[in-house]
C-alpha cells in the first residue's frame, strides 16, 4: 500500500525538490526540476496523489505542445527538446514517488516519451579557431589558456571555473574536475596545454593572497567566476565573427567533433566527456568528415588552430 504521509501533489513536489537539494544536485538541475514541476502542478492542480494517473502525464505533454511564448514580439511554440525535458522531469518524479511507496504503481510505464527533433551541435571550424588564436595574441595570457583548456579537454564551464591548483597533476597529465552528478572525475591534458597552464601559473597568475587555490583569477587576484568566464568567451567568439550560438559549450562540442575527426574512438570520447550513455556521445558522429579512417589517423587534438 502507498504511504499516507503525502496526500497531494504539491507536498510531493516540495519533498522531491528538498531531497534533490540534499543530494547536492546542481543549482541548474534543481532550477529545471522546479520549473517543470511548477508547470505540471499548475496543469494538474493540487490533486491527491492517489488520483494521479498516466492521463495527467499525457495531457501535460499535449498542453505544453500547444502553449506559446513571446519572443521579439512574436508568438512561438516551445521546442520539442524543451517539452521532452519537462516530461522527463515529471517521469522522474513519478518513479521517485513509486520507489518510495508514495504511490502504488509507476504510472509512467504506460506513457511514451514525446518526440524530439534531432539538432546537431554547433561547432567551430579550424579557420574560426585560428582566427580566435590570432585575436588572443597580445591579450591577457589567462584568456588564451582558458580558451585552450576548453578546446583541448572538452570540460564544462562550471568545471573550469572550479579548477584548483591541486586539481592539475602534471606528472600524470590529468586534471581533476568536479563534474555533473556532484562527483570528481579526471580528464586528460595534452603536453601543449600542460606547458601553457604551467606558464600561466608560474608567470602570469597573481593571487590576492597565498591561500587562493583557484586556477583562473580575475583582475583582483581572486577566483574568476562562471559568469566572468562565460562573458569573456562570448565576446571573444563574437569578435572572431562567429555567428552561431556562442558560449563555452560550443567549445565542448568543437572538442568532441574534432576529436572524432582525428580518429578518436567514440567510446574513448564518451569517457573523456563523461557521458553515462553512449547515445549522447553518438550525436557527434554525424559531424565527422566522411573520409576519416580512424584506423590510420592519429589523434592530434592539440593541433587545432596550431599557431
| Residue at grid coordinates 583548456 | 149
Alpha helices in 240-287 (DSSP H): 248-261, 266-273, 278-282
Catalytic status, residue 270: no
| Residue of 180, 195, 234, 283 with catalytic role | 180
| Residue of 156, 258, 262, 274 with catalytic role | 156
| Residue of 95, 116, 275, 283 with catalytic role | 275
| Residue of 86, 252, 253, 262 with catalytic role | 252
CB-neighbour burial class of residue 174 (10 A; exposed 0-12, middle 13-18, buried 19+)? middle
- State the Cα–Cα distance between residues 206 and 209, nearest whole angstrom: 9
Catalytic status, residue 258: no
Catalytic status, residue 156: yes
- State the Cα–Cα distance between residues 150 and 160, nearest whole angstrom: 8
- State the Cα–Cα distance between residues 9 and 49, nearest whole angstrom: 6
Cβ 208 vs Cβ 219: under 8 Å = no
Catalytic status, residue 88: no
Catalytic status, residue 252: yes
Catalytic status, residue 10: no
- Active-site residues, by number, are 156, 180, 249, 252, 275, 284
Amino acid at each position: 500500500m502507498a504511504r499516507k504521509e503525502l496526500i497531494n501533489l504539491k507536498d510531493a513536489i516540495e519533498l522531491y525538490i528538498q531531497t534533490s537539494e540534499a543530494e547536492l544536485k546542481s543549482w541548474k538541475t534543481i532550477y529545471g526540476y522546479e520549473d517543470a514541476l511548477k508547470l505540471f502542478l499548475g496543469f494538474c492542480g493540487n490533486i491527491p496523489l492517489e488520483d494521479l494517473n498516466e492521463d495527467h502525464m499525457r495531457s501535460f505533454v499535449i498542453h505544453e505542445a500547444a502553449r506559446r511564448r513571446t519572443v521579439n514580439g512574436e508568438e512561438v511554440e516551445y521546442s520539442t527538446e524543451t517539452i521532452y525535458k519537462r516530461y522527463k522531469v515529471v517521469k522522474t518524479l513519478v518513479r521517485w514517488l513509486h520507489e518510495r511507496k508514495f504511490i502504488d504503481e509507476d504510472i509512467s510505464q504506460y506513457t511514451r516519451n514525446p518526440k524530439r527533433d534531432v539538432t546537431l551541435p554547433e561547432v567551430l571550424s579550424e579557420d574560426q579557431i585560428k582566427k580566435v588564436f590570432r585575436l588572443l595574441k597580445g591579450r591577457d595570457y589567462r584568456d588564451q589558456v582558458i580558451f585552450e583548456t576548453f578546446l583541448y579537454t572538452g570540460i564544462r564551464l562550471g568545471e573550469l571555473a572550479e579548477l584548483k591548483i591541486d586539481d592539475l597533476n602534471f606528472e600524470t597529465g590529468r586534471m581533476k574536475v568536479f563534474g555533473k552528478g556532484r562527483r570528481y572525475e579526471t580528464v586528460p591534458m595534452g603536453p601543449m596545454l600542460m606547458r601553457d597552464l604551467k606558464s600561466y601559473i608560474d608567470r602570469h597568475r597573481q593571487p590576492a593572497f597565498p591561500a587562493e587555490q583557484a586556477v583562473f583569477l580575475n583582475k583582483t587576484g581572486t577566483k574568476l567566476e562562471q559568469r566572468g568566464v562565460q562573458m569573456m568567451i562570448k565576446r571573444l567568439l563574437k569578435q572572431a565573427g562567429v555567428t552561431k550560438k556562442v558560449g563555452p559549450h560550443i567549445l565542448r562540442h568543437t572538442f568532441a567533433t574534432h576529436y572524432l575527426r582525428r580518429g578518436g574512438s567514440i567510446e574513448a570520447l564518451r569517457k573523456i566527456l563523461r557521458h553515462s550513455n553512449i547515445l549522447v556521445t553518438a550525436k557527434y558522429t554525424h559531424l565527422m568528415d566522411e573520409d576519416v579512417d580512424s584506423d590510420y589517423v592519429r589523434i592530434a587534438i592539440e593541433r587545432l588552430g596550431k599557431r
